[in-house]
Amino acid sequence: MKKIYTLAALALLTISASAQTAFWTGTSYRGAFPVTDGLSGVSSNNWTAGWANWDPQITVYPAPTTTINTNITTNTTWTSGNTYLLVGNISVTPGSTLTIQPGTVIRGDKASKACLIITKGAKIIAQGTPTNPIVFTSNESSRNPADWGGVVLLGNGLVNTACATCTTTPRTNYIEGFATNFPEILYGGSNNADNSGVMSYCRIEFAGVALSTTPNSELNSLTMGGVGSGTQIDHIQVSFGGDDGFEWFGGAVNAKYLISFRTLDDDLDTDFGYSGRVQFGLVVRDKDLSDGAGDSNGFESDNFNPGVGRLPITNAVFSNITCVGPKRDGLTTLPAGEKFERGIFTRRNTAISIHNSIFCGWEKGWQVNGASTFDNYNTTGSMLDSMGVVKNTVITTDIPSNARFVTDAGGANSAWYNTYAGANGIDTTKTVTQVAFVNGFPTNLYNTPDFRLAAASIAAGGASFTGPQFFGGFTGVEQLNVLTNSFNVYPNPATQNTNIAFNLIENNKVSVTVIDMLGNVVSVIAHENEFNKGNNTLSLNTANLANGIYYISLEVNGVKETKKLIVTK
């Protein structure tokens, strides 16, 4: 039976965009750090102070006192008075919670290619402090990249691809890297609000071992598969990883204050429909560490391979990232045979957004690869046809002028990039000196850097947090069909009224919001209201709306779809 709900827009609940975007910290500056306050230590505005480690190879960690060589099947606490040695694949099984106290050290065995897996349905509570972080590191006496596996965090969030033997409604998959599949590495589901626990003030060092001889069998330092937004991720440093620093496979987990330091492959890698938000991140590369099997990038983002058709689309939003490539301030000479490439590599129909960020020290700047990806960024200036945005970002002049934007047969040519940069505030005219880090390039990488900005920095201003990406809706993205059969707005254009119709495959909570062109919330029509399985219709009174373009955002269980509405009178 069709349900019809008549609600007067603007008469229910009108709120500001900021009330809906509590995740984002508004800044005036671009990059990961503000102008220095002249202080040092944990009280300063340098959020790396106290817990980050820039020379873990010489850090002396205590010898193991407790060996963990079987799965964790009950609620368990690891205490700071012990040092834990992981041997083999250690899984925290569904229904169990692993709590790790501040200051605890966990060491991974190299011979058994140890790793810690938080299975979907399980939780980790690893909540360190600025002065007492939790450390996951190698058990070798002389530590190097890829000494052990790393941390694998899995959940029930949405993913857009499935293995041949996995479920497809909703899609599930086995996390990549392992030589054989087993139940504990299955991830994905229908709940983008899933909660896998807390990781805060943690360091993950020397991870990323190849688990087999098969290509791409390395684990990442922190691998996240289908992790939902109920999970807390903040203040995480990954160092000397043998593959990617952070990699997200689907899900919608948010994260803040991430460091990727001297990893081999990519630093921030997004795949399979990841739709979370990340703010404040620092990437620092080592000229002597790149991936011999392929190109090493700052950002690498895919939807899936070959990249067309699958929903939800990869549309994560990043803001305030300082991404320093292997050439550092441009004066470092790279060794023969290095595999470094781009600060940003977007391909295979991805639509990630990057705002308010700084890129320097790379051989190349940004590449939009392939026609399907190009279509996601190709905009007329109003973002009506765009799903991904790179905006208010600095690509410094140490990157050669003919490589700041990489031309591609898919449509991203020099003329398009130049037009796009002008329309979206991408500044390619400033030097690293003008960006003016306090001490971004110490003589040795193991010396403590300081990427806060000098007062005269051109990056001290110019940030912006307007637009649909910061509200949470994504213009043009039609990803809700993984949960619904249809979502329509009619008549459109509308004069006095329009209908919002959607079909649910099961009873669920639904939010419906009206957003204007700047991303401001005009009205909340429904906020997590219960709707029944089947066809539902809301009637929206548009009489009080000014002529123009609006967006109707429909959210079901953490998954959004946005439709354009034109109001004419």
Mean pLDDT of 537-564: 81
- Which pLDDT belongs to residue 9? 33
What is the Cα–Cα distance from 465 to 473, expressed in whole angstroms? Answer: 13
Which structure tokens are listed for 538? 């809301």
pLDDT band at 14 (very low <50, low <70, confident <90, very high): very low
- Which pLDDT belongs to residue 134? 98
Gyration radius of the chain over CA positions: 23
For 39-51, the pLDDT digits (tens) are 888 889 999 999 9
pLDDT band at 307 (very low <50, low <70, confident <90, very high): low
What is the Cα–Cα distance from 106 to 79, expressed in whole angstroms? Answer: 10
Q: Above 70 in pLDDT, residue 181? A: yes
- Which pLDDT belongs to residue 471? 64
For 482-518, the pLDDT digits (tens) are 444 468 888 988 988 999 988 887 788 888 888 876 6
C-alpha distances out from residue 510 to 18, 316, 475, 483, Å: 21, 21, 19, 11
- Which pLDDT belongs to residue 245? 98
As a three-state string, the secondary structure of 67-110 is EECCCECCCEEECCCCEEEECCEEEECCCCEEEECCCCEEEECC
Which structure tokens are listed for 553? 């955002």
Q: Return the half-sphere exposure (C-beta side, CA atoms, 13 A cut-off) of residue 129.
A: 6
User: For tokens 């399985």, what's the residue?
Assistant: 533
Check residues 461 and 522 and name the one with the higher pLDDT.
461
Which structure tokens are listed for 471? 């509200």
What is the Cα–Cα distance from 261 to 278, expressed in whole angstroms? Answer: 17
The rounded percent of the chain whose pLDDT value lies above 90 is 69
- Which pLDDT belongs to residue 49? 95
C-alpha distances out from residue 209 to 184, 191, 267, 510, Å: 19, 30, 16, 42
Q: Above 70 in pLDDT, residue 476? A: no
What 8-state DSSP symbol labels residue 194? -
φ/ψ of residue 481, rounded to 5: -65, -10
Dmax (CA) of the chain: 74
Mean pLDDT of 151-173: 94
Check residues 289 and 546 and name the one with the higher pLDDT.
289
Q: Above 80 in pLDDT, residue 291? A: yes
- Which pLDDT belongs to residue 549? 80
- Which pLDDT belongs to residue 485? 47
pTM: 0.84
Mean pLDDT of 266-273: 96
Whether the link from the prior residue into 312 is cis, omega within 30° of 0, is yes
Is the separation of the CB atoms in 59 and 140 below 8 Å?
no
What is the Cα–Cα distance from 119 to 397, expressed in whole angstroms? Answer: 44
- Which pLDDT belongs to residue 563? 79
The H or E element that residue 18 is part of is helix 17-20
Closest CA to 331 of 360, 364, 288: 360
- Which pLDDT belongs to residue 554? 83
User: For tokens 């590191």, what's the residue?
Assistant: 137
End-to-end CA distance of the chain: 33
User: 475 exposed, middle or buried (CB, 10 Å; 0-12, 13-18, 19+)?
Assistant: buried
Tell me the pLDDT of the chain averaged across its residues: 89
What is the Cα–Cα distance from 206 to 461, expressed in whole angstroms? Answer: 36
Q: Above 70 in pLDDT, residue 464? A: yes
For 354-402, the pLDDT digits (tens) are 999 999 999 999 999 999 899 889 965 444 445 799 999 999 999 999 9
Residue 177 gets the label, from left (phi > 0), alpha (psi -120 to 50) or beta, of left
Is the separation of the CB atoms in 553 and 512 below 8 Å?
yes
As a three-state string, the secondary structure of 379-419 is CCCCCCCCCCCEECCEECCCCCCCCCEECCCCCCCHHHHHH
DSSP character string of 509-521 = EEEEEEEETTS-E
